[in-house]
Structure 1
Amino acid sequence: ITEPADPDRKGYSFAGWYADRNLTDKFSFTTAITGDIILYARWNKESSYEAPGSGSPASGVEVLVNDKAEQDGKASVNEEGGKTVITITVDEKKLTQRLEQENNDAVITINVTTKADEYVTQLSGQMVKEMENKGAALEIKADGAAYILPAQQVNIDALSEQTGNSAELKDIKVQIRISKSAQEKSRLLKESLKNERFTVVVPPVEFTVSGIYRNEIVEINSFSSYVERIIAIPRGYDPAKITTGVIIEPDGTLGHVPTKVVVIDGRYYAKINSLTNSTYSVIWHPREFKDAASHWAKADINDLGSRLIVDGTDRNTYQPDTAITRAEFAAILVRALGIKTSPERRTFTDVRVSDWYYESIETAAAYHLISGYGQGQFGPLDKITREQAMVIINNAMKITGLETDVQAEQLEELLTAYADSGKASKWARSSIAINLQAGIVTGKPGKMIAPQDEITRAEVAVIIRKLLQKSDLI
């Protein structure tokens, strides 16, 4: 049976077809039909309450294009599983016309001023495509949180293929959700805190994007570049006691995501950049290693330890002057970038599934950070040299957006300023020059690059921190 087009009803938004009068059994159009049936439409009344704050639209939703108010969005309120859910829609015809008048890279802001547990912004696939063609981004602001999503990151054409070749863009619904995390995620976060010295600064907030066509839902869980989320810090809280944003994994473990504290209109916010969708929180987790107390890299080591990027050989010991392995370097960089994959196959024959570093190395390979020695070998337990590390950092710069182009004449000029530049391998020279130009690596005393030297744990902390800082991620 073919699903009919959504019906219209003034003052209401359509919420699906149900098989029973009480609207508890949602009907699936894949169900085999053997006789006449009656379906019941579910409607959500569009809100007409007054939103808090002077000048707020009656619907509690304001739509702006490049900070200029264009229209009031429609907001329907529904109770789902004990949660108040606000679903926001816009007049897409008017919005498309407005976009046509703007230059590329416009920002469409949807500002929701009414409190709820979950906010769902819904656009058609065609609207998302129009935004993508103009290089536009969608910014959703609700209850102290914001999600800035470039339309191209939805990749609506690929989404259309996933939902079926017969799907027209106008029939696909794209939903962007910001929600207070479910109790289970909050419980898992509390469990993680029992064994660590964390302070939770803000409760978990979940961000999701999905495409819906008929009864099929496709989750968009990863992006090709960093997507920004902003979470308000409670008023009166000391911003100096914020370490980082974290992602809360399904098992409750925490992982670093690049985060910096910013001030917007006099209030502090955590700006979180991530390549995935998930549940995020903000923590205070001060960490100091005793054996780095008088070390030249003390600030870098302790900052990365506090951010859950590096760990010590025990709680208080970092061993800053010890050389690091290729596996350890890959693991630190993956944590620093806040990336993770679920490996489907082994990339390297000398990296076993049972190895502690297996997932980190597979993630690094999936993001094209590493390629190994060739012939399926990575050498995970080999000590990594400075030039090898700089090649991998150069690859990471492509992910963080810190790409820089070094012409041949500039390359030689940068390298010949160092006495031992002739020792650099041919395959590493360009990457070394790019690291030098970006200021991530500054060389050793005596104007030395030391490309063949093993890189130390302290040096790794310094270059990883510089990568994130110069990429404006922390």
Structure 2
Amino acid sequence: MQKFKKTAMITLAFFILSGVMTAFPVSVSAGFLSAYDVLKLDYPEVVANIVAGGCNEGEIKEFLIALETDVSKRGTLNEANFNSIMYQSFEEVIQWRAHRNVFRALLKSYGDEIEYTLDNSELHPDLVPIRNAVMKSLLGEEEKPPVSGGGVTTSPNSDINQAISAELSKSAKVIQVDVSKYPELVLPGSLLNDVSRKGKTLELSWSGLKITLPPGAVNMDSEDKLTISAKTLSSAREAETAQKAGTNLKLISEIYDIQVSTLETPRNFAFTKPVDIALTYSIRETTEVQKSLALYFYNEKNLDWEKLSGNHDLSARYIRVTTNQPGKYALFAAVAATVTAEPEPVSSSFIDITGHWAEQDINIMYQKGLVSGVTTFMFEPERSITRAEFAAIMLRAMGEQPGTYMTGRFYDVPADAWYFSAVNRAAEVGIISGYSSTSFGPRDPVTREQIAAIISRAMQIKNKGAAVSDSEVPFRLNVFADQKNISIWARNGVAFAAANNIVKGRSATEFAPHATATRAEATAMILRMYNQL
């Protein structure tokens, strides 16, 4: 089985790189059977070669149907997520026994091309025209000749490309662009080549992260495209990955997974010249913590964090390193310094959070007086948080006092309830509203999309966070495979919260909007909001 899987993954690499997969339509309604017919009509030699390798057309069609089912679960394809989604689907379907004949046929018929692709980390020259043509058809692009003087083509972030192009004729040597609303950025090769020819440096800024490309950092064809993905890990993955640093280091920043690819080099991409990567940290950190900070790179092979030598600017609160290697980056501080900055709180008496992914967040929130336990020794991190609990924590995190009320506005919030003043004040401020003018539902659970919407509203009340326009919402939500399940009323709020690193998926690809939020999840999200107020 292991040998087959290895062989299958080699075939997968070829399949993605060669563009055979890109013959499939983006629209789920189109179906893979019609895609097979298109492939057979436009590229009959591909089908003939696969059949000649030892499988029949029926097996090819069955394979495409299985692949369609898996891809349809992962959201809409676009230029930015194309390679990653296809790899995920292939990794799943590739292991099914029913499709072994198809993979063996591919390996037999395209052995030389596979070997060339793996050895060179780029397309075999004979395959480039096919892949480019199909990609344009797949993603709805028109055939256009290369555009000079900036080369801005249609992409999910066309506004960014236009902004960069507009700076080419100006005297400034550094083009600074805020790209925080785009976790995945697609830049045309023609545009990047123009930036290099002008001798300009391109500085791309996300929330907490800055990547600086000097002239000539990227060497690519004008018709190619560069995708830069700068995403933070989900809470569970962040906790798991941070633990690899050991007990002597404490994670201070988000963990940024920086991935770079081009159409011709979707894997193992390396910059031609080193680029600068800078991570920022909060002003809340004490001087002791700041002095102990260092930027680390996660070694995927050794499964550990490597300390990097870089420039630490204490006044601007960032650390910058020079590298040509994409991957995971984060800021860590020495434990001795973090103890000074964050004394170990009494919340260590919560026996049910030891080893929990949100243990650190819960302790910090408890120390700040923003959350409390269900009992002296129990926090119940996995229990669903109620609307009353959430309203009270939000009110405290925003620095609002509960207030004194003789009468309440909600009939189901009695005057003798512990949350009476908090709920009424939260409703008065506009943080959270009732089901109606008289009903609040204090004991009801809160869904993840409701929390995102409420936190977004609170941040906007405080005039904090990067705004997200209506036109940007679909692209911002597209990182979640289940984004179609997000309620219409909550989409703007979830997009805003995601853009400002308040919410993360329950997995790398799913947001789970209708799942009830746990006390741990709510605590972590509110802490991220609190750190930005």
More helix by percentage: 2
Q: TM-score, normalised by structure 2?
A: 0.35
Higher relative contact order (CA 8 A, sep 6+): 2
Q: TM-score, normalised by structure 1?
A: 0.39
More strand by percentage: 1
